Chains A and B, each alone.
Chain A
Amino acid sequence: MSTRLAGGGRFLDRTRKIRFTFDGESMSAHPGDTLASALLANDRLLVGRSFKYHRPRGVVASGAEEPNALVGLGTGPRFEPNQRATTTELFDGLTAESQNRWPSLEQDVGAVNAALSRVLPAGFYYKTFLWPRAFWKHLYEPVIRRAAGLGKAPHPESRDADTYEHFHVHVDVLVIGGGVAGLQAAKVAAESGAQVLLIEQSAHWGGRAPVDGGTIDGVSTEEWVEKTLGALDALPNLRRIARCMGAAVQDHGYVLGYERLTDHAPGSIGPRHRLWRIRARQIVTATGAIERPLSFAGNDVPGVMLASAMRDYVVNYGVTPGQRVVLVTNNDDGYRTALVLAEAGVEVVRVLDARQMGGGALMVQVREKGIRVDPGRAIARVSGGKRVRTVHSCLADGTGNVLEDIPCDAVAMSGGWSPVVHLWSHCGGKLRWDEAGAFFRPDPARPPTGADGQAMVVPAGSANGELTLRNLLQDAVKAGKSAALKVGCEVGDIRVPLGQEVAESALMPLWIVPARATPDLRMKAFLDYQNDVKVSDLQLAAREGYESVEHAKRYTTLGMATDQGKLSNINGLAVLSDALGEPIPQVGTTTFRPPYTPISFGAITGEARGALFQPLRRTPMDAWHDANGAQWEPVGHWRRPYCYRRPGETTEMAVNREILATRRSLGLLDASTLGKIVVKGPDAGRFLDMLYTNMMSTLPLGKCRYGLMCNENGFLIDDGVVARLSEDSWLCHTTTGGAERIHAHMEDWLQCEWFDWRVYTANITEQYAQVAVVGPEARRLLEKLGGMDLSREVLPFMTFAEGTLGGFPARVYRISFSGELSYEVAVPANLGRAFWGKLLELGAEWDVTPYGTEALHVMRAEKGFIMIGDETDGTVIPQDLNLGWAISKKKEDFLGKRAQERVHMADPNRWKLVGLQTPDGGVLPTGALALAPGKNANGQRNTQGRVTSSYFSPTLGRGIAMALVLDGPQRIGEELTFTTDDYDAADEAKTTLTATIVSPVFYDAEGARNDV
C-alpha cells in the first residue's frame, strides 16, 4: 500500500492540509506536494492508461521524464490535457481527471488483453491498413482517429482564461539547471563579472543532491545549497528564476525559457506563463541526468518505479509507494533507495543486483541494515494487474526461469543514469558513448557553435556525464570559468568546493532483463511506456530491416510520445543495436528536438490573441465606417468596408444600391489604403523608367499616368497611377497592401544595383486620407466645397492640382477606376475624418453614397479594368491583359523586359483577357475553367482558359465575367464550356455552363461618362 509516512518530506508544510479531487474523488494532501506525491499518499497507484493497449499505469518517475502519470487538469476555460502529475505542484481545490480510459480508470473497455496485443505488433497500422486503398477514407481513418491521441482537447468553444507573455533578455551567460552543478557554474561565471541568468525548471534549488546525500566542503549538500543561494543573491549581476525550464537552444545563442508563474497558485495576478526569449553569448547546460528503467516483463505494473523517484518521494514528500519493496539494480546508486527506505521504516524485502559480485560500500551498508541482497539475480517478471503483487526472481544472465516468488507491493528499479543531453543536442552538439557509465555524453570536441563559429554551449556536472559530487563540482567550476572567459571576463583562481560521498563500484549494462529473456517475457518488457513499445517490437523492427535508428523509431513509435523518450531512448537504442549486432555508438541516437518538455500554446502565442492576434490596419475614417454598417473585408492587414448595410438590407442589396447610386449620382470611397511613394532626385525619372513598363520620365508636370510594374521574371506585380509632382519628383500610387512591398522593391534596386543613381524614396502611404469622389455629380460636390477650380478645362482627365478645398489642404487627382467622372482627393490623415464628414454633409443633396470594395470591384469589372491579384496571379504578363499599350517600345530596358522576350512569353498563343457573357445572364463561378477537347498526360481534361473575375452587374442587370482564354481576343463570339464548382467529368452535362467570349469592356465602351 502506498501511504504518507509519519516523518520526512522536506518540501511539505505538514501543519496545513489542502484538498484536491482526482476523477471526482476528494482527497487530502499538504502544501508542497506534487499531484503525483499526493496521489501516492492517498494510495492511488493506478493513475492512467497507456496509449495503445490501455494498460493500467502508475507513477514511475518524480520529474519531467514521467511517461505515465498524465492527467487532464482544471475545468472549463482552464482545462488542459496531458499534464504531468509529477511536475504539477498541488494547490487547494485542484481538480484532475485521468485520461485514455472509458468508462472509468478502473474499468476500461479499451484495454487490450495479452492475447490481442499479439496482433498489434510494431508497424501494425502500416501493415494492416495498407489495402484496399478505398477503405482508408471511410473505414481505417475514422477507426485510427478514434483510437489515436492522448488526452482530450479543450472544448472548441472555450477560450483560455489566462494571459501569457513573452520577455526578451540578452545575457552574457545563461545557466540552465539549478542543481549543485548549475549553482556552482553560475556562481563562478557571475563572480568573474559576467551577467548571468540562472533558470531552474522546478520550484526547488539544489536538484537531486539533498536527496542523494554526500557533503560539500564538509557540510550537507542541503546546507551547501542554502549557503550558495545566499551568495548568489548577493551578486547584482546574477538573476535566478525558478519554475523556468530551458525549453530550446537554437542558433546563435537563442534560448527559450518556459516560466510557469501561476500554475501552482491559480487566481494570482499576472500572466500564467512567461516565455523567456533569451539571447545568451554562452550557455551552460547543467540539466542533470535521468535514471533508466530496467526492461523486465511487467515493468509497467503500477508500483514499479525508478529507484531515484522512490527515494524522492520518501525524502521530499514523506510518501512511500509500498510497504514491502523489492529493489532491482545493476549499479551501486540504486542501493541509496534501499537505505532511504530502511531509514524511513519501510521494509526492503530483497535487493536483486544483476552483477555477479554485487556492489561496493553501499551494498555493505544495506546488508548491515539486515536487508538481504541477491547478487547475480534479476526480475523474470512482475505479477499483479493494477498493483504489484509478486516479483518472480531469476538469474540475471539467464532466460527467466523463476527461482523464487517474492511477495511485495512495490518495485524500485535502477538501470543507471543517462545525462540530459537534450539542450546540448538541440543545436547540433554531438555525443560520444561512455563505456563505463553506459550512456551518451556531450562530446567536447563537437559542441554546438554560435555565430562566431566557437562553442556556445558548455555542459556541466551530471549533464556532462560527471555523476559523482566531487567530479561534478570540478566540472561545474570548469564550465563556469569557460563561459566567463568566452564572454571576455577575467577569471581569477577559483577554489573548487570539495564534494564527498560513498565511492561506487562499476555498473553493469543490462539492456534486457534477464539477459536472455524468452520471447514471451520480451513481449511484456516495456521500453516506451507511453506508446507501449516493448523489447519485442524493437527486435521485430530490426528483423524487418529497419537498421536506421530514425526509421526504427518511426516504425515502432519508440520515443514519439509526449515524453519524447526521456526514459526509453537509451534502452531502446541498446536493444536495437543488440538486435542489429552493432555497437551502440554506431547505431547512434535519434534527433533531440525542442522543446525539452511540452510547453503551452499560450506561452508560444504570448500577447498575440483576440484583438492582438495580428495587426489590424485602420484608415482615418475607420470609426465612421464601423458606426455605419460596414461589412469588413481584410485586404492585406487593412480592413476595408466591403459594403455598408442599411437596416433590412442583405449584403447583395447593399452592394447593388451603392453601385447604382454612384453611377446615377454620387459615391464616396475611402481610398486611403492605396500606397503612396515619393520618388525624388536627379535620377528619379531614369529610375522610374526602369521600374515601370511604360515611360514615366516624360510625364509632364501636373499630369498623371497609369503604370505597370513587373518583376525580372516579366510578371505583373503592381499597378497604379503616377503623378509628376515637380521637376525631379514623382508620386507613385500602389495597390492596397502593395506599398511596403513595392517600396522595398524600389529600395532593393536603388541600394543593390543602381547604387550610384541619386534617388531618394519615401513611403508616405499613411500621411494622407484619400477619398474617391465618384459619379456624375462629383464635380458639383467639389465645387460646392470650394477653393479650387476643378473644371473640365483646368483639371482634365489624368491631371492633378494642389490647393485648399473646402478649407482642407488637398491634392486632387482627376482619375477614374469606375468609368465615371471621378476625383481622388488626398488630405492630411489627421483631417481625414473631418473631410469625409464634410463630403457627406455637402453631398446630401445628391444622395451621396459611401461605397465599399465590392462596388469598387464590380464597377471596375464593368469597365474591363484589371485588378492585381484577380486578373494576375504571379504568372501573368501585361501582354496577356491586352496592356501592350502600357509597355514602352522605345525603352531599351526595364525590369521584366528581357523576360518578356523569352520564347514562352512571346508566344502568340497565350491565355489572354476577354469578357464573358452567359446566355441567361447568370453569374459564372470565379475560377471556373474553360474545357478543351481531349485529356492531358495525367488523364485530366484539357483546359483553355479560366474565369478571373465574375460579378452580378446591377448596372447591366446580368452577370459579367473576365477571363484569360487561349487566343481569347481572336475568338470574340465563340461559345466555351466552363466548369461549375461541383464539376464532374462523368457528368459534364449537369456540371458545366456555357458562355460567349465578348469584349471585357461591358459598360460605356466609348468613355463618354468620364468625358465631361
Chain B
Amino acid sequence: MLILPCPCCGLEAAEIELAPGGEAHLKRFGPGSSDAEFEGYLFNRHAAKGPVLERWRHAYGCGKWFLAARDSVTMEVYGTYAARLPQPPEEIIARIRARHPDWQVPA
C-alpha cells in the first residue's frame, strides 16, 4: 500500500486516502483535432514498466490533485509535484535518471 507525499498540503497520504487518476501530462485534443490526435489523447497510454508519471487526488485529505513520478516495478517514489506543471521538476527528473540514465520525459 503506497504512501505519497501530497505536495499541496504536505501530508504523507496513504493509498486509501488517495484516488488514482491515470497517466499525467496528457494533452487535451478537442474539436478540430485529427482522428489520430484524438485517439492518442483518449486511448494511447505509455503504461511503462519503470518510471511512470501519474495523476493522484488527495481525495480524503485536502482534495487536491497532484502528479507523482513513481516506479511501477520497484514502487520507488521519485517525487510528487503540482498538477499544473507541464513536466516533472528538474530534481525529480534527476532522481529518475539516477536509476534510469536514459530516461526521457515521455512525449
Contacts and interface: CB of A to CB of B under 8 A. Distances in A.
Nearest to A752: B83
A453 B74 contact: yes
Contacts of A898: 29-33, 38
A753 B76 CA distance: 27
A279 B65 contact: no
Contacts of B33: 898
Interface stretch (A246-254, A486-494, A879-887, A911-919): A246-254
Contact of B38 (A450, A744, A899): A899
Contacts of B57: 744, 747-748
Given A451-B77, A899-B38, A751 B65 contact: yes
Contacts, number: 70
A744 B59 contact: yes
A251 B84 contact: no
A899 B64 contact: no
A212 B19 CA distance: 51
By size class, the interface of chain A is 20 to 34
Contacts of A897: 30-31
Contacts of B19: 744
Nearest to B33: A898
Contacts of A449: 74-76
Contacts of B84: 751-752, 755
B3 A279 contact: yes
A901 interface: yes
- Most chain B CB within a 10 A radius of its CB, from A747, A748, A751: A751
A738 to B, nearest CB: 16
A899 B65 CA distance: 25
Nearest to B41: A712
A580 B59 CA distance: 52
Nearest to A892: B31
A897 B32 CA distance: 10
B102 interface: no
Interface in A427-456: 428, 449-453
Contacts of A893: 30-31
A678 B35 CA distance: 35
A228 interface: no
Contacts of A452: 76-77
A78 interface: no
A392 B55 CA distance: 67
Interface in A678-713: 712-713
A902 interface: yes
Contacts of B32: 898
A897 B38 CA distance: 11
A453 B76 contact: yes
Contacts of A747: 57, 63, 65
B28 interface: yes
Contacts of B28: 712, 753
A713 B31 contact: no
A523 B63 CA distance: 62
By size class, the interface of chain B is 20 to 34
Contacts of B99: 453
A940 to B, nearest CB: 27
B27 to A, nearest CB: 10
B65 A752 contact: yes
A893 B30 CA distance: 7
B36 interface: no
B30 A902 contact: no
Given A748-B21, A752-B83, A755-B84, A901 B1 contact: no
Secondary structure call for the A interface: mixed
B75 A451 contact: yes
B70 to A, nearest CB: 9
Contact of A252 (B31, B55, B63, B75): B75
Contacts of A250: 1
Interface in B76-107: 76-77, 83-84, 99
A898 B99 CA distance: 40
Contacts of B35: 902
Contacts of A451: 2-3, 75-77
A44 to B, nearest CB: 43
B65 A748 contact: yes
Contacts of B71: 453
A755 to B, nearest CB: 4
Contacts of A755: 83-84
B38 A251 contact: no
Interface string B55-70: 1010100011100000
B75 A251 contact: yes
Nearest to A753: B28
Interface string A242-276: 00000000111110000000000000000000000
B5 to A, nearest CB: 9
Contacts of A751: 64-65, 83-84
B42 interface: yes
B31 A712 contact: no
Contacts of B55: 752
Contact of A254 (B1, B59, B64, B65): B1
A251 B76 contact: no
Given A449-B75, A453-B74, A252 B38 contact: no
B7 to A, nearest CB: 12
B30 A252 contact: no
- Most chain A CB within a 10 A radius of its CB, from B14, B21, B33, B99: B14
A470 B82 CA distance: 52
Given A250-B1, A751-B83, A901 B76 contact: no
Interface in A733-774: 744, 747-748, 751-753, 755
- Most chain A CB within a 10 A radius of its CB, from B29, B30, B77: B30
- Most chain B CB within a 10 A radius of its CB, from A252, A279, A712, A752: A752
Interface string B23-61: 000001111110100100110000000000001010100
Nearest to A750: B65
Nearest to B14: A279
A509 B41 CA distance: 59
A428 B75 CA distance: 11
Nearest to B24: A752
Interface in A448-466: 449-453
A254 B64 CA distance: 24
B1 A252 contact: yes
Nearest to A256: B1
A450 B84 CA distance: 27
A970 B75 CA distance: 55
A751 B59 CA distance: 13
A879 to B, nearest CB: 16
Contacts of B41: 712
Contacts of B75: 251-252, 449-451
B17 to A, nearest CB: 12
A1011 to B, nearest CB: 37
B38 A902 contact: yes
Contacts of B29: 898
B33 to A, nearest CB: 6
Contacts of A450: 75-76
B13 to A, nearest CB: 11
8 contacts: A250-B1, A251-B2, A453-B74, A713-B42, A752-B84, A755-B83, A899-B38, A902-B38
Interface of B: 1-3, 14, 19, 21, 28-33, 35, 38, 41-42, 55, 57, 59, 63-65, 71, 74-77, 83-84, 99
Given A279-B3, A713-B42, A899-B42, 15 more contacts: A251-B75, A253-B3, A451-B75, A451-B76, A452-B76, A452-B77, A744-B59, A748-B57, A751-B83, A753-B28, A755-B84, A893-B31, A898-B30, A898-B32, A902-B38
Question: Lowest 4 CB-CB distances: which A-B pairs, in order?
Answer: A453-B76, A254-B1, A751-B65, A755-B84
